[in-house]
Structure 1
Amino acid sequence: MPTHTEQRLINHTPEQMFDLVAAVDLYPEFLPWCNGAYIRYKDSELLLADLKVGFGPFTEVFGSRVELYRPDKIEVTYDRGPLKYLSNHWVFLPDEKGCTIDFFVDFEFKSKLMQKAMGLIFHEAVQKMVSAFIKRADDIYATA
């Protein structure tokens, strides 16, 4: 599967973005194609979570291990579901205007059909997801 790397300078603090990305249970409220989020385990440094994702005729549940390195890094690895592997990180670098988000994702489906379908829209879908996180931050952290 192709990988996607993206960096964006935004007007929110690393702590705000960390809290937003770490709130996996709220993803269905704003993240495209996310139809459910279930936290199986949670402490201050680790989440085990399942995301129900639907796109077109496909619906899958992905289990992941989310390691929390407050306030500047979140690493996500594959736990269970339809993938061969998943490698994903968010890094929040302080900047005088807010922070720079460094986002990386790489994954591969077990199913060749799913792999082919996702390959057609991969970069567009991931860019839309990163934009959804930034819009959510703008919505909840907007200053009056």
Structure 2
Amino acid sequence: MPAFQTERRVFHSADQMLDLVTDIEKYPEFVPMCVDLKVRRRTEAVGTLIQIAQMSVGYKAIRETFTSRVTTEREASRILVEYIDGPFKHLENRWSFVNEDEGRSCLVRFKIAYEFKSRALGLLVGGMFDMAFHKFSEAFEKRADEIYGRSF
């Protein structure tokens, strides 16, 4: 099963990065290959936000839509994305954010594992997904700089 993980220090607080990643409806504005995202349901409990989202990803003539559950745990500074329906056999990604330097920066950890239901689709778009995942961290860091300002 293809998987990717990265760890990156950014010059924004863990809370800022958690808020940025939780704001999933903005993904089409800056996330590689994300062409549309709709939140179908949102429920909140103390410290936890669960969003059921339908995301469309595309590259050239290829477009796929899938549904996932996005659980944000504010106290733990982490986000879990679990696959519900679509072209995957398996899809799960995890984000975690750890403050450093008294909150002037944080360590962002991102892990994703996925497998397409169709072997042909996996061969056709798997390389593009890998390329997009490698650009995810950079896209979120650039977005944070745009929203919160670049800090050093």
Give the TM-score range, shorter chain: over 0.9
Q: Residue 61 of structure 2: which of 53, 57, 70 is its match? A: 57
Name the TM-score, length of structure 1 as normaliser. 0.93
Q: Where do 4+ consecutive residues of structure 1 move more than 3 Å?
A: none
2:8 and 2:150 map into 1 onto residues whose CA distance is 20
Unaligned runs of 5+ in 1: none
SS for the counterpart of 1:43 is strand
Name the TM-score, length of structure 2 as normaliser. 0.89
Deviation of 1:119 (Å): 3.0
Tell me the equivalent position of 1:69: 73
Deviation of 1:37 (Å): 0.7
SS for the counterpart of 1:135 is helix
Q: CA RMSD in A?
A: 1.5
Tell me the equivalent position of 1:83: 88
Moved more, 62-71 or 101-110: 62-71
1:20 and 1:40 map into 2 onto residues whose CA distance is 19
Deviation of 1:42 (Å): 0.8
Letter in 1 for 2:85: R
Unaligned runs of 5+ in 2: none
Counting matched residue pairs gives: 144
Q: Sequence identity, in percent?
A: 37
Letter in 1 for 2:127: L
1:119 and 1:25 map into 2 onto residues whose CA distance is 24
